[in-house]
Structure 1
Amino acid sequence: MKGDEYMLKKIDQGALFLKENASVFRCPTCHGTMKEENHTFFCPSGHRFDLSKKGTLYFLNHQIQTEYTTDMFAPRRRMIEAGMYNPVMDELANMIDFPEFILDVGCGEGSFLNQLNERKSLEKMIGFDISKEGVYLATQQPLPAFWCVADLTNLPFSDNCIPTILNIFSPSHYKEFQRVLTNNGQLLKVVPQSGYLTELRQAFYPNEIEKQSYSNEAVVKKFETEMHLVERKRITYTFDIPKENQLDLLEMSPLEWGVTEAVKQGLRENPLEKITVDIEILKGSHSNRFH
């Protein structure tokens, strides 16, 4: 979407995107073709999905309750905007070979896609998440992306239509990724490594050594099994947390779900000033091209 289309209401922006890009989608119920008309997306079999006022689509046929709520997404967004992941975003932008069309899998509240767009001037963008709260927050991002709620295991996208898939700190479904990627398409997956948020882990779980560090090697091995690994890059650094964001760190990740209120209160009174970011970017392509 370009220039004056920003003047449209969000629901009309969403309808325009669907009308112009209907061939990218397929019905998640019957896998039929889709068509937009009067703010409704439907297939020849009569399965219908209505655009929300925010211009989003809910592709699930049932309500999903997740623990990822606005209370977690909002501080996460503030930490991202404060620059916590800038080196990661810089490297990701360098590794995107096909900026003409990006699918952000597990987009959350959209901050990562927005940051990449600022660096790379992406042309066409779709973000989806299982969390409706995250997707609604994503519509506040200042970029012309289309946002939807969808199921990772049953993507509402056509075969071989997506040049680039982003998979940042979120689950994967490689069979579906392989299906929707173009033949020369790429998957960029960001996974935490052993030092990720180590100061927060130690503070949250001072008496549980097993929770203070972890390994994601099983995730990496799965990636290597399911995709052709093109590149593997580790990025490690310490981020100085701005004073106004130090409490956001405590609420931004699932790490805090099992923490006692006494430990949280102690950290509110003496918040962390630095945090380690330790991640790997895995760049993959179709495995069947190399078998």
Structure 2
Amino acid sequence: MPKSIILNETHTGHFEDLLRCPICQHTLSLVDRKSLICKNKHCFDLAKQGYVNLLSHGIKSKYNKTLFESRKNLAQSGFFEPLNSKLCDLISSEAKSFDRSLNIVDAGCGEGSNLASIQQKLYQHTGRMPSCVGMDLAKEGIQMAARDFEDSFWCVADLAQCPFVDHAFEVILNILSPANYAEFERILNPDGYVLKVIPEKDYLKELRAVFYAETDREDYTNAKTMELFENHLALTEIVPVHYTRTLAKPLIENLVHMTPLTWGAQEERIDRILKLDSLEITVDLAILVGRKKG
């Protein structure tokens, strides 16, 4: 049997309560510990790797196995730990206000390393293991997450049709990933909040300076992303996350293969970065804290 938490009878009932059919929106029930089925007989089988595909139809993603493996290698090096620590601090400060279990969804979780790190940090800080759900459109990422991290529920799902009941989550994480605010507002608990991580102007500026020198992509602004966020949610706080890391050659390769900044860059410019023996890289991010308006 798969080792994913969804097949653990202690946890299955809880995650089952959070789920709804992405086709007809009726509740899903676990049948024979191998399928999630709604009353209209829409059926979603559990994969042997321990995740479930909750897409209503096939969708192709640009994110592939190489990208996710590279991202995992960077995560294991500690590249994202300052960000994960800051997110954990923000959640910990509010966790005591929720008298029931703390439900967290990472919308656009990739291969799961951020969510897994945050979950373990929260357990260490609060003594409570939050119930964590990771969703992503890319099956390759979810397969890796289910294989490597057994303490969360992982699903392939579409942000435009989130397979969750209304008000399911106290915390929605959205880390360097697209958002669907209509769905976020629907699945967010009335007292919950969204933590959206966005790039600031110096994020990976060393790559941008080489890949897109003297083009309109050399400089970055997040103004439109900020405006969209504030159009849908009450922005209560902006938390900066800024640090640098010096990467050796293997991690430079992982960074290049991980970031969508590489898409569209000329091969000779990519090779210029890949030939470096070391590279100091800037991580410049902002965490937007948002709550429902009104």
When normalised by structure 2's length, the TM-score is 0.90
Q: Quote the Cα distance in structure 1 between the aligned partners of 2:280 and 2:106.
A: 28
> Aligned residue for 1:277?
283
Q: Deviations over 1:2-56 (max 9, x none)?
A: xxxxxx6326744644434322111111111111012110111111111100121
Maintained 8 Å contact 2:6/2:15: no
Q: Distance in 2 between matches of 1:15 and 1:36?
A: 12
1:67 matched to 2:74: no
**In structure 1, which of residues 235, 238, 248 is the aligned counterpart of residue 241 of structure 2?**
235
Distance across 1 between alignment mates of 2:243 and 2:5: 42
Q: Contact 2:112–2:149 at 8 Å: present in 1 too?
A: no
In structure 2, what is the Cα distance between the partners aligned to 1:43 and 1:15?
20
SS of match in other structure, 1:190: strand
Structure 2 unaligned spans of 5+:
96-100, 124-128
Runs of 4+ in 1 over 4 A off after TM superposition: none
Query: Compared with structure 1, are the counterparts of its residues 268 and 12 closer, same or farther at alpha carbon in structure 2 (3 Å cutoff)?
Result: closer
Summarize the Cα distance change of 1:12–1:164 in structure 2 as closer, same or farther, 3 Å threshold.
Answer: closer
Is 1:147 aligned to residue 154 of structure 2?
Answer: yes
Farther off after superposition, 167-176 or 9-18: 9-18
After superposition, give the CA deviation of every residue in 1:184-230 in whole Å (9 maximum; x if it has no partner). Answer: 0111000001110000111222342x211210111112111211112
* 1:33 alignment counterpart: 27
Q: Please give the alpha-carbon distance, in whole angstroms, between the structure 1 residues aligned to 2:205 and 2:105.
A: 30
Q: Which amino acid aligns with 2:157?
A: A
Instruction: Write the distance in 1 (CA, Å) between the matches of 2:116 and 2:238.
Output: 23
CA contact (8 A) 1:78 1:248 kept: yes
Cα distance in 1 between the residues matched to 2:258 and 2:213: 19
Aligned with residue 132 of structure 2, among 112, 125, 128: 125
Q: How many residues get paired?
A: 280
Partner of 2:116: 114
- Distance verdict in 2 for CA 1:216–1:14, change over 3 Å: farther
RMSD across aligned positions (CA) = 1.7
What is the match of residue 23 of structure 1? 17
Residue 165 in structure 1 maps to residue 172 in structure 2: yes
Equivalent residues of 1:15, 1:55 under 8 A apart: no
Say which of 81, 89, 101 aligns to 2:84: 89
Rounded Cα–Cα distance in structure 1 between residues aligned with 2:221 and 2:20: 37
TM-score normalised to structure 1 length: 0.91
Q: Secondary structure at the match of 1:178?
A: helix
Q: For the structure 1 residues 92 and 12, does the alpha-carbon distance in structure 2 shift closer, same or farther, using more than 3 Å as the test? A: closer
Percent identity of paired positions between Structure 1 and Structure 2: 34
Report if aligned partners of 1:114, 1:141 keep a CA contact under 8 Å in 2. no
> Which residue of 212, 220, 223 maps to 1:214?
220
Offset at residue 277 of structure 1 (A): 0.5
Contact 2:200 2:284 in 1 (8 A): yes
